[in-house]
Amino acid sequence: MSRLPSVAVASVVLIALAAGGAFAQVVVQPQSGSVVIAPSAPPPPRTEVIPPPPDAIAQWNPGHWTWDGYRWTWIAGRFEIPPTTVQTSGWHWIPGQWLQRSDGSWSWIEGHWG
């Protein structure tokens, strides 16, 4: 697996909120990260059942495939809670995506607020 520096990607901090056994994941701050490079296209997305949002301002971030250097692994969808500065700007969550590169490999671009 190859990792290259990327520009301002959202870092997901996982916070488990125990409420009757249910757990939620939320974004709390933007941070620099890396882009994952895969040798082939990811499998088709899985169908997910979207649970009720944990908050009225939460936005759904669909699940996606990730490359671990050997195989594809599914990352389940989750709700994103915008940072305070985003809440007043009218921005929305732009999901991450796999983009094919000129050499035939694929790179993961993290989701972000925009």
The pLDDT, as a whole number, for residue 34 is: 67
pLDDT tens-digit map of 15-47? 233 333 333 333 333 344 666 899 999 999 999
pLDDT at 73 over 90: yes
Give 85's pLDDT tier (boundaries 50, 70, 90).
Answer: confident
The pLDDT, as a whole number, for residue 97 is: 93
Structure pTM?
A: 0.65
C-alpha to C-alpha distance for 33 and 4, rounded to whole angstroms: 9
Going by C-alpha positions, the residue among 44, 5, 35, 33 that lies closest to residue 101 is 35
pLDDT at 8 over 60: no
Q: Beta partners for 78?
A: 61
Q: If you ran DSSP here, which 8-state letter would residue 19 be given?
A: B
Domain boundaries, the chain: 2-113
